[in-house]
Amino acid sequence: MNDALFMQRCLILAKKGLGYTYPNPLVGCVIVNQGKVIAEGWHKKAGKNHAEREAILKVKDPTLLHNSSLYVNLEPCDHFGKTPPCTDLILEMKIPKVIIGCLDQNKKVLGKGLKKLQEAGCEVKIGVLESECKKLNRRFFSFHQKKRPYIILKWAESVDCFIAPKESPRGYWLTDPLSKQRVHQWRSQEQAIMIGVKTALKDNPKLNTRLWKGNNPLAVVIDPQEKLSESKENLNLKGNKFITIRDLDKRLENNLLSGQDILNQLYDKKLQSVIIEGGAKTLQHFIDSNLWDEARIFVIKEKLKSGLKGPKIKRDFIHTSTKIKEDILITLYRDSMISKSC
């Protein structure tokens, strides 16, 4: 059988849960009998059935499972959480072969699901499309391996590298409306969106997904001196759910918290991903600290000639360049493994 083909289908299914499964990973499952797919499933939301259970329960004739192979992009769990262990159900239904994309990096699972299946006599194959499987769950893996959220930087700039003219009105956008919609799609996929307090006070953003159907990310404002709470202005964020990053340890230098201090606070709040949308000072702070994973940069063809300069970042990380109407979207990846699997 073409293991890669069925694993690719698992990845397509798993991606449907992006933005909805936090704090759980993205998982898709395909069950194959005599070369034909007899059931599929994916994890839709934390607390709901895992992908393996979702697929297994769709098989109308359970005896078919006795001669079937189960494909899943992430190691099946072997612990009780909001749902029972998937390994128990796989063994209970006497599925003889399991093909796994990559191991789970959560210490509650890592290697344990694999070991239980093998010790029970199940034939297990691991590492099919491993790079692609790791890339899909890069947010989940970053949280469990690096003890910090996966960090996406996003900004738009003119072809001469300005992100705003000298005098720009609130709600000013450089990019085409289609690019703006793409940004709102991205917001729906991440657990949090972060800006600096200067941007919050100057631009009064909503930081929601009003142009895309999906969950609103948690808004996060870096506000070490608590200027946002002191502001008397009726800001958009004050009517929504948001949190602030404060100077908890009283180690503020030059009015800046270290990038690691900020990420520690986000990790403590169990946030697996954050998209940082500004301003330039905040973005540059994370770039200079080497605390980022992806950078998504819209470049418009017009020149502004003057104004606020955009962040400076090495462009030798470039992996993709996409045209969205008249805008060019450049995506940079710091992790070479992710770059190679794109």
Query: Do 99 and 190 belong to one domain?
Result: no
User: 199 in a domain, yes or no?
Assistant: yes
Query: Do 129 and 274 belong to one domain?
Result: no
User: 109 in a domain, yes or no?
Assistant: yes
Q: Residue 241: what pLDDT?
A: 82
Q: Residue 337: what pLDDT?
A: 47
Mean pLDDT of the chain: 91
Task: Tell me if the bond preceding 310 is cis, omega within 30° of 0.
Answer: no
Answer whether residue 252 shows pLDDT above 60.
Answer: no
User: 11 in a domain, yes or no?
Assistant: yes
Active site residue 52: yes
Query: Do 96 and 180 belong to one domain?
Result: no
Set 52, 75, 157, 294: catalytic member = 52
Angstrom distances, CA of residue 308 to CA of 31, 168, 252: 54, 10, 25
Q: What is the CATH number of the domain that holds 285?
A: 3.40.430.10
Q: Round to whole Å and give the CA distance between 104 and 112.
A: 9
Q: How many structural domains comprise the chain?
A: 2
* Helix, strand and coil percent figures for the chain, each rounded to 5: 35, 25, 40
Domain boundary among 83, 112, 137: 137
Answer whether residue 341 shows pLDDT above 50.
Answer: no
Query: Do 99 and 186 belong to one domain?
Result: no
User: 284 in a domain, yes or no?
Assistant: yes
> What does the block give as tokens for 114?
């694999």
User: 142 in a domain, yes or no?
Assistant: no
Query: Do 126 and 165 belong to one domain?
Result: no
Q: Round to whole Å and give the CA distance between 298 and 332.
A: 12
Q: What is the pLDDT of residues 194-216, one digit of tens each?
A: 999 999 999 999 999 999 999 99
Query: Do 130 and 164 belong to one domain?
Result: no
For range 33-60, the mean pLDDT: 96
Query: Do 99 and 222 belong to one domain?
Result: no
Q: What is the pLDDT of residues 139-159, one digit of tens each?
A: 999 999 999 999 999 999 999
User: 301 in a domain, yes or no?
Assistant: yes
- Answer yes or no: are the C-beta atoms of 86 and 114 closer than 8 Å: no
Query: Do 188 and 325 belong to one domain?
Result: yes
- Our CA angle for 246, 162, 314, nearest 5°, is 75
- Answer yes or no: are the C-beta atoms of 43 and 165 closer than 8 Å: no
Query: Do 127 and 223 belong to one domain?
Result: no
Q: What is the CATH number of the domain that holds 65?
A: 3.40.140.10
Query: Do 160 and 300 belong to one domain?
Result: yes
Query: Do 54 and 202 belong to one domain?
Result: no
Of 49-58, 124-133, 164-173, 313-322, the least confident: 164-173
Query: Do 221 and 311 belong to one domain?
Result: yes
Q: Round to whole Å and give the CA distance between 318 and 109.
A: 34
Domain boundary among 137, 162, 185: 137
Q: Residue 254: what pLDDT?
A: 57
Domain boundary among 115, 137, 159: 137
Domain enclosing residue 199, as ranges = 147-341
Q: Residue 253: what pLDDT?
A: 57
Answer whether residue 275 shows pLDDT above 50.
Answer: yes
Q: Residue 225: what pLDDT?
A: 87
